[in-house]
Structure 1
Amino acid sequence: MMRHKRLEHRFVEHVPERLEPGILYVSMEYATSAHSCCCGCGEEVVVPFTPTDWKMTFDGETVSLSPSIGNWTLECRSHYVIDHGKVIEAGPWDDEQIEAERRRDRAAKARFYGQAPRHEPSVQAATPKPRPGFWRRLYDRVFTKP
């Protein structure tokens, strides 16, 4: 459960050394933002704005970041979206989903920056296939399995 349900934004030149919980610090000069993890663990979360990372939207009153913030390297492994200053908890990801996202991220950076990607399995092949729903599994078991 997210401890912080809203983040107040502050536009700053430099991110302060000590981050105040519940505040999203945005530095346009350095194209980055930082905040204390919304789960309440106190870890610093840095979000760079680049064509292949996150995008920041300011509507004159609130800030949104996209895509979601997945703190996979932190002990809390929190995952949330910041939408118009609201913190919306997103579902947890397993290790396979996290690794697939990391491969997609590396491939996107390689494409954008014109680098030859390291030999990795296809991004499409790395995406876990969704498990068939209950009714599909039941139908297969009853009607297609000997």
Structure 2
Amino acid sequence: MIRHKRLEHRFVENIPDRLEAGILYVSMEYATSAHSCCCGCGEEVVAPFTPTDWKMTFDGETISLRPSIGNWTLKCRSHYVIERGRVIEAAPWSDEQVAAERRRDRGAKERFYGHSPIGNVPAPPPTSKPTQSFWRWISDWLSR
């Protein structure tokens, strides 16, 4: 059950240590977002923006994230979509569906990065804090 039906966004350089419920923190510097789980359990949910993970759309007023947020490793196992600041509850997934998505995700990362990243984490840029913007790094990398 989704408790938070809307997320207000805040652009930040660094994600704060303590996440306020109902806020979607977006760091363009680190190409990631984080929020407190919308079911109300209080767990931190991180969605990195990479070619094989989430895509963020900002229309000047609201933010959307694609694909859906599936919290399969959390006790709540909540599943929802963030569309123009609204939180839309999605159907739960079976263990088989989750396993199939993890296989698809690993395959996408292997195809894009040319190797299998450790666990379910995408291959990082050359340094933990890039000297250039993430998007510039991606553009340079793709033009090689």
Same fold (TM over 0.5): yes
How much does 1:114 deviate?
1.8
Paired residues, what number? Answer: 117
The CA deviation string for residues 14-42 of structure 1, in whole angstroms up to 9 with x for no partner, is: 01111000000000000000000000000
Equivalent residue number for residue 89 of structure 1: 89
Identity of aligned residues (%): 83
Equivalent residue number for residue 28 of structure 1: 28
RMSD (Å), alpha carbons: 1.2
The CA deviation string for residues 62-120 of structure 1, in whole angstroms up to 9 with x for no partner, is: 00000000000000000000000000000000000000000000000000012379xxx
Secondary structure of the corresponding residue to residue 9 of structure 2: strand
Structure possessing the higher radius of gyration over alpha carbons:
1
Whether 1:103 aligns to 2:103 is yes
- How many angstroms apart in 2 are the aligned matches of 1:62 and 1:113? 31
Unaligned 5+ runs, structure 2? 118-144
Using structure 2 for the length normalisation, give the TM-score: 0.80
- How many angstroms apart in 1 are the aligned matches of 2:116 and 2:34? 31
Supply the AA of the counterpart residue of 1:43.
E
Unaligned 5+ runs, structure 1? 118-146
Secondary structure of the corresponding residue to residue 109 of structure 2: helix
Secondary structure of the corresponding residue to residue 68 of structure 1: strand
- How many angstroms apart in 2 are the aligned matches of 1:111 and 1:103? 12
Equivalent residue number for residue 9 of structure 2: 9
How much does 1:51 deviate?
0.1
